[in-house]
Homo-oligomer: A and B are copies of this chain.
Amino acid sequence: MASALFYLPDVTSGVLSPEDSRHALTVLRLQKDDEIDITDGKGHLYIARLGSPGKNQASFEVVSRSEKPRRQASVHLAIAPTKNIDRMEWLVEKCVETGIESIHFMKCARSERKEINLERLQKVAVSALKQSRQVWMPALQAMVPFKEILELPVQDKFIAMVDESNPVSLRQSLRKNADTLVLVGPEGDFSEEEAAAALDKGFRKVSLGPNRLRTETAGLVAVVTMNLASSQ
């Protein structure tokens, strides 16, 4: 059984966050000299030993540090958040678990949701990172207008469209070692102007399969498809 994994962006502090301290001391009932794993979300895994517990404060000393390089090809998703925020929390959890470098939220012409609570989604992401024992924290970006997403500097860029005149699948379009971004639109799909603007900026239209998918399902299918292409 692996040790509990904690997320702490700056380990030089030598102290877990108040929330993680409580978790370590009260829930896991860890004691002085017990070992824990810590990641800074920047590719490092630390093994640390707990010091004498303070009041709701778990201090530690780093025992060893190992490093994992970023994977060769990066996976990026830009999505118009659904009205039901639970579905976005679910999507963030699943994207982080299966592997992603960045998630961007965009405001589209037909978006029903105009704002998101990034802090809440960030917590979901941290929890999924720890659960899946990864050491690179994906970037969650605040919501921006659709047009700004078109300027993201990613090699291979796709727009998922429900379009029967478009038989090209995402899977067929992916290159093995390329950084890839897929756009997934709102429940009412992209507007014609948005689609045209994306094509104009070098995005290619792709299909995610024969079925009509909910927004968050489309997002996850795109990410799993990109991961399968990048990992083999």
Chain A residues close to B by CB (< 8 Å): 90, 94, 97-99, 131-134, 169, 171-172, 209-214, 217, 220-221, 224-225, 227-228, 231-232
Contacts and interface: CB of A to CB of B under 8 A. Distances in A.
A232 B98 contact: no
A211 B132 CA distance: 6
Copies of this chain per assembly: 2
Nearest to A133: B212
17 contacts: A97-B214, A97-B217, A98-B211, A98-B213, A98-B221, A99-B211, A131-B214, A132-B212, A132-B213, A169-B231, A171-B232, A172-B232, A209-B227, A209-B228, A220-B224, A224-B224, A228-B228
Contact of A213 (B90, B97, B212, B221): B97
Most chain B CB within 10 A, of A97, A131, A212, A220, is at A97
A65 to B, nearest CB: 21
Contacts of A231: 169, 209-210
